[in-house]
């Protein structure tokens, strides 16, 4: 669906030297779920997107651009 979002999350995570486990923990979601999101296999809910954007220190609208 939205493959760009997946790539952006992965890119931002790596730029901040975070592992999937660290980011997942920071965002309060499961690592396996984060992996699925980064590979565009699952479409997260608004709630979880907000958590992820906060964990990446970026606003939700910006994350979706």
Partner DNA sequence: CTGTAGACTGAGGTCGACG
Partner DNA sequence: CCGTCGACCTCAGTCTACA
Residue 17: CB minimum distance to a second copy, A: 26
CA distances (Å), 16 to each of 1, 3, 29, 34, 55, in order? 25, 20, 18, 16, 11
Which of a second copy, DNA, none sits in contact with 60, Cβ below 5 to 8 A by type? a second copy
How far apart CA 35 and CA 12 sit, in angstroms, is 14
The residue written with tokens 């997107």 in the block is 49
Q: Does 16 bind DNA (CB under 7 A)?
A: no
Q: Which does 28 bind (CB under 5 to 8 A by kind): a second copy, DNA, none?
A: DNA
Asked if 50 touches DNA (CB under 7 A), the answer is no
């Amino acid at each position: 669906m939205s493959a760009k979002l997946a790539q952006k999350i992965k890119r931002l995570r790596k730029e901040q030297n975070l592992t999937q486990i660290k980011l997942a923990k920071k965002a309060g979601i499961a690592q396996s779920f984060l992996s699925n999101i980064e590979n565009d296999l699952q479409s997260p809910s608004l709630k979880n997107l907000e958590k992820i954007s906060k964990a990446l220190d970026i606003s939700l609208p910006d994350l979706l651009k």
